[in-house]
Amino acid sequence: MSNEAASTVHVVVGRPRVYGADRRAIARELAAAHGGVVHRLALAEHGIDRFAVRNEVAAGRWFKVGRHTVAIHSPELNETARWWRAVWESGSGARLDGVSALEASGMTGYHASVIDVTVPKSSHTHAVERVRLHLPRVPAPVVGAGIRKVAPDIATIHAAQWAATDRQAALVICMPLQQRLTTPSRLQLAWHGVQRSARRKLLDGVIGDVADGAHSLGELDFTRMARRVGLPPPSHQSLRDGPDSRVYLDVSWDDVGLVVEIDGGHHALALNPIDDALRQNDRVTAGERVLRVPVIGLRLLPQKFMQQVRHTYDVLRAEASRPRMR
């Protein structure tokens, strides 16, 4: 090789150095799979060393957004790019966890203000803006292709434990199930593996609710709630004749024609809302008043829901005792 050739070709991790438009085209292609960011090591493996990165940054075409992360298009990162930066920058073995792992797995309708990342306790970690680090002794294993993340069932349990409020904890338990990212059996198995939790009592109940519907709320539990707001004991699993079949009602006060249907997490899935609507409409056309109560609502806001039941019962009892005009 001539001295002239040697001065223009540099080997970087086994690849010849690239320049100009070729360099930028390669970077764009690498960044396309990561929301517009690329790791410096990936650039180096394609002949783009730290000096080339420095030149592109100095020219205002690329942007340093971390020790390892380079933004190719803009310093304003989208959510996908922020996930990759969080994993690349937080420490060796980092992986998305909690709500962030669920979002990366496809969950919609819920967005966390910070990115949850778990890193092995033995790793050297680095603080990253809007990233919350968790340092378990043994992190949950990584699953799936693409960005490093934990399995949805484990991420759901972690998200519920890290939630700011009990209401948020219940929400992030329900949503992955409703969107079919995990199953009740997998969720219960993941929960059984948790030895310590500040929300043990709450999550025991909520996970039971979404896994087993209204059956997780025992008859004695609802009767106790009713007694606390001054209601007489209700009937449970009362039998009614419908147009097509006989149905069982969750709770009823037959003396005033009040029915309470307790909806477990499965009620929002598939064709269940249609079946629920038909059941409810049958009872209404038969002259009964029907209240629908989410079982998780009874666990989070029992007083508010039971006050609604009490108010409806009082209204119906007053109507029943009112003299009828001939």
The pTM of this model reads 0.71
Question: Which one, of 92, 89, 158, lies nearest residue 128 by Cα?
Answer: 89
Q: Tell me the HSE value of 102 on the side-chain side, using a 13 A CA sphere.
A: 28
Q: Provide the residue-wise pLDDT of the chain in tens; the chain has 326 residues.
A: 333 333 333 444 456 788 889 999 999 999 999 999 999 999 999 999 999 999 999 999 999 999 999 999 999 999 999 999 999 999 999 999 999 999 999 999 888 889 999 999 999 999 999 999 999 988 999 998 899 999 999 999 999 999 999 989 988 998 898 888 999 899 999 999 998 999 998 898 888 877 765 445 555 578 888 999 999 988 887 787 766 667 778 889 989 999 998 876 554 444 456 766 777 777 777 778 989 888 778 878 888 999 999 999 999 999 888 776 55
Given a contact cutoff of 8 angstroms between Cβ atoms, the answer to whether 292 and 280 are in contact is yes
- Number of Cβ atoms within 10 Å of the Cβ of 286: 14
